[in-house]
Structure 1
């Protein structure tokens, strides 16, 4: 419903949204742990089976069995163990209690609120971020997050995906592990751990071929429910 409404309001094309899947799959080829690594084209995405109009199979994350584990330790212990200390520089959370069908505008998300809180707490701007890990259960979510965190104006997220490379060496490295669409699916129908794990891996300098050079600050954003809550983390070394 949200993808269809977005296309109607902003005259967005299916090709623009499909480019999210193409960009993320291109990144997945550098991730040996990704479930899907073969390159795909916009034509492949648009030719895949329809799941829920207008979203197609290659735009939708798959449920899987899996887990993520995170070790939180004292900074002194981390340094003693030769582990790069990673700090939470900023945190933002926002909720809209109204159900989707009661909203005047179903495209109006709380992403700008959570992202704004996190960046403000960190005392930095978006231009200071070296890596963007965005929740990608569906391609339309990434479009909304690109706009919501401020990388482009409302209604231009699909254009951003068409015009910008997401690779580790790009100006805007986004979901450089291939995202949830390719890397780990949705363990227990949730994939926030997939993007958080990659942010920690990158900041630790352990990402191998997909390592973003000089990365020191990462933004992790997740949206959930029926697009009625958003959480943003700013992590740094």
Structure 2
């Protein structure tokens, strides 16, 4: 399934949802033309529900669009699960075993050969593809449900430093008018730094921040010189 999704992505990036012929589809997937391998790849796209139409009117499906351009992570996860079970034979296997895939291959192989007329090699390939597709969908679902954890950053201990110089008025007005996320960084046991990033962080903002830190370092150095003199 992972390979089929890559092929669908390549087609979408090239022609979006425009209808194209099969020969163009083969080229967009990276094949020179119709061969046994390219025809199998095209068939997989169709079985997973990632393309629709036939002949010169083949295009990316609504299901593929929900994966490639999702409104949310949950929509993408749901679409991948639907696609992973779309091949007809996968649906028949899941129906036969009440929606669950047995851990052992023997029961599935027997069902495919005895009831669906598969050859042994074809049955084994089908079982492998089924397990890979469902495992891919399950792994993506788990990844999309994991919430990012806050990162605690502990700076190396520093000696106490004088107050931060007042920023220019433009930056100060922005900080007062917009609430930002406050990041607290411990500097020593008795000292901590509170940094609030407001608005879009770009190269100019970072340069200004560095300028203020450099100014702070100069003030600190002057204070030390006065104490030593």
For the pair shown, which has the larger CA radius of gyration, 1 or 2?
2
TM-score normalised by the shorter chain: which range applies? Answer: under 0.3
For normalisation by structure 1, the TM-score amounts to 0.21
For normalisation by structure 2, the TM-score amounts to 0.22
Higher helix share: 2
